[in-house]
């Protein structure tokens, strides 16, 4: 696929159809792939990659790239296209300046996930059927994909591109892979256990803001957490309250807009399963206000900017009764 994409990008650059290409570039190690804007065929030749480590969601970069003038070619994976649509809906991306080329994705792994499984000295990766063949310093290693993928890809919601100008490869389908299973499991715990679980997770937070910075939905130019007077602008002297507050508010601010791409959990240096907070909101919205998938289209009204007269009362949560 990498060669096909490279050819496509060079061809479009040469013909003048686009001025820049947004894609992925090799990092220092095989697994630390970074998003990159390429301006020429030479740069593409030198750095462009597309492999099973290209998990980065490129949509957020288009907010700035699409406003720089000239046309930019963006390679988007299925879950990136949801974020792209959502940003179009919020008038953040200038659509005319972007040429979207959909690229297939069979699930992206990352260095952290592989290292946690005991893979060391990673030099490269390739897909062979249902397996990853990982080239390491100690020889090749074959791992089944279901063992080597992060949770967000194991519970992938869709392999279908919801928006594209051109598509490379086959059109995929929406999947039903049980992405709310973990949320259900947490909900089934009693409150003491849940509290202990989240305390254990959130207390590791170092307030690096990576989850906020990477999130395609978190794209406010002025963020509530950048206010020095808010008392949450840095980790120093923080306590459990701030960890709870930061994560509740972070998830709340993207509620109804989160497309569930799972980038927050991928970038977290402390491996906090942050996407489980977002998924809780998605699940509640689905059960209380009807199924809604952010980014599926560019016209529907987001659940939190909408209402019906017969909405559930908050008492269904606070007083027990029929649980959402």
Positions touching another protein (CB under 8 A) are 186-187, 191-199, 224, 237, 239, 241-242, 244-245, 248-249, 251-252, 255, 277, 280-281, 284-285, 288-289, 303-309, 311-319, 324
Contact 263, 215 (CB under 8 A): yes
Nearer to another protein, 37 or 276 (CB): 276
Nearer to another protein, 196 or 206 (CB): 196
Nearer to another protein, 160 or 283 (CB): 283
Instruction: Give the DSSP letter string of 207-269.
Output: ---HHHHH-SS---SS-GGG-GGGS-SSSTT--HHHHHHHHHHHHHHTTTT-----HHHHH-T
CA–CA separation, 320 vs 250, rounded Å? 26
Q: Which helix (H) or strand (E) segment is 21 a member of? A: strand 20-25
Q: How far is the CB of 298 from another protein (least distance, A)?
A: 22
Q: Which residues does 91 contact at the CB level (< 8 Å), separation at least 6?
A: none
- 3-state DSSP of 47-103: HEECCCCCCCCCCCHHHHHCCCCCCEEEEECHHHHHHHHHHHHCCCCCHHHEEEEEC
Nearest to 213 by CA among 175, 279, 159, 263: 263
Nearer to another protein, 118 or 314 (CB): 314
Q: How far is the CB of 259 from another protein (least distance, A)?
A: 17
Q: How far is the CB of 304 from another protein (least distance, A)?
A: 6
Nearer to another protein, 9 or 254 (CB): 254
Q: How far is the CB of 67 from another protein (least distance, A)?
A: 29
Q: How far is the CB of 193 from another protein (least distance, A)?
A: 7
Q: How far is the CB of 222 from another protein (least distance, A)?
A: 15
CA angle 182/183/185 to nearest 5° reads 60
User: What count of residues does the chain have?
Assistant: 324
Nearer to another protein, 138 or 241 (CB): 241
Q: Which residues does 262 contact at the CB level (< 8 Å), separation at least 6?
A: 79, 150, 151, 152, 153, 275
The first and second tokens of residue 137, run together, are 């310093």
CA–CA separation, 267 vs 214, rounded Å? 8
Q: How far is the CB of 156 from another protein (least distance, A)?
A: 23
Q: How far is the CB of 261 from another protein (least distance, A)?
A: 20
- CA distances (Å), 48 to each of 97, 169, 184, in order? 21, 19, 40
CA–CA separation, 61 vs 76, rounded Å? 11
Nearer to another protein, 116 or 316 (CB): 316
Nearer to another protein, 67 or 199 (CB): 199
């Amino acid at each position: 696929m990498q060669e096909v994409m490279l050819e496509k990008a060079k061809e479009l650059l040469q013909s003048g159809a686009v001025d820049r290409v947004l894609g992925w570039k090799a990092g220092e190690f095989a697994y630390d792939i970074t998003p990159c804007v390429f301006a020429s065929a030479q740069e593409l030749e030198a750095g462009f990659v597309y492999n099973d480590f290209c998990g980065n969601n490129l949509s957020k970069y288009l907010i700035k790239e699409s406003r720089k003038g000239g046309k930019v070619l963006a390679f988007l994976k299925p879950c990136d296209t949801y974020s792209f649509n959502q940003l179009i809906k919020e008038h953040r991306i200038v659509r005319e300046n972007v040429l979207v080329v959909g690229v297939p994705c069979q699930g992206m792994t990352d260095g952290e996930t592989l290292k946690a499984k005991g893979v060391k000295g990673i030099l490269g990766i390739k897909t062979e059927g249902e397996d990853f063949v990982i080239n390491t310093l100690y020889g090749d290693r074959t791992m089944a994909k279901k063992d080597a993928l992060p949770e967000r890809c194991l519970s992938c919601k869709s392999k279908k591109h919801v928006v594209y100008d051109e598509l490379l490869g086959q059109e995929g389908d929406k999947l039903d892979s049980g992405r709310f299973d973990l949320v259900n499991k947490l909900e089934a715990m009693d409150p003491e256990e849940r509290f202990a679980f989240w305390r254990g997770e959130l207390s590791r937070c170092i307030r690096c803001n990576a989850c906020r910075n990477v999130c395609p939905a978190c794209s406010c130019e002025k963020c509530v957490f950048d206010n020095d007077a808010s008392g949450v602008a840095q980790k120093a002297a923080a306590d459990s309250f701030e960890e709870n507050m930061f994560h509740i508010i972070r998830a709340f601010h993207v509620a109804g807009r989160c497309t569930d791409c799972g980038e927050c959990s991928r970038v977290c240096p402390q491996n906090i399963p942050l996407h489980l907070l977002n998924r809780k909101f998605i699940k509640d919205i689905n059960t209380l206000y009807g199924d809604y998938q952010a980014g599926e289209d560019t016209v529907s009204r987001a659940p939190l900017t909408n209402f019906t007269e017969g909405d559930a009362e908050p008492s269904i949560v606070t007083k027990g009764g029929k649980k959402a």
